[in-house]
Amino acid sequence: MKITEQDKEYMREAIRLADESVKNGGGPFGAVIVRDGEIVAGSSNSVTRDNDPTAHAEVNTIREACRKLGTFDLSDCVIYTSCEPCPMCLGAIYWAHIKRIYYGNTKKDAAAIDFADDFIYKELEQHVEKRAVPLIPLLREEALETFRAWELKQDKVEY
């Protein structure tokens, strides 16, 4: 894939947002989402500011883009993020159907400053019974009723 000068400008904006976050007491991460050559959303990490462990730059930016565009489907968008996405952010990017990810720092760079996600990747490889945080099945038959109702719903909006 050919990197353009415009791609570099979008990445510089993600990095600028990360720098701004650091200056304001936040984490060193920023992201922008682009559609049709225009930045539609940009945000930074606000975990400590919002007391929200899910408030990573990519997730915040996805939320903002979805609000602005009035859709949960960002398949016509590209994300530029100042760091290789963590497992949660990568999952959010996939769920949003974003078609391309550009990143600055690597996950090894992040680990070098104590933002290490390797433990999550390792946990996902473990069988459920061997994970550090127990996953305990409970009331599956009752829960399946909701899935059955969804399956039969005629006017559902699929995603």
Q: Are 21 and 27 in contact (CB under 8 A)?
A: yes
Q: Which of 100, 23, 91, 101 is nearest to 56 (CA)?
A: 91
Q: Which member of 5, 20, 58, 123 is catalytic?
A: 58
Look at strands 77-83 and 100-105 and give their pairing: parallel
Whether 58 is catalytic is yes
Catalytic residues: 58
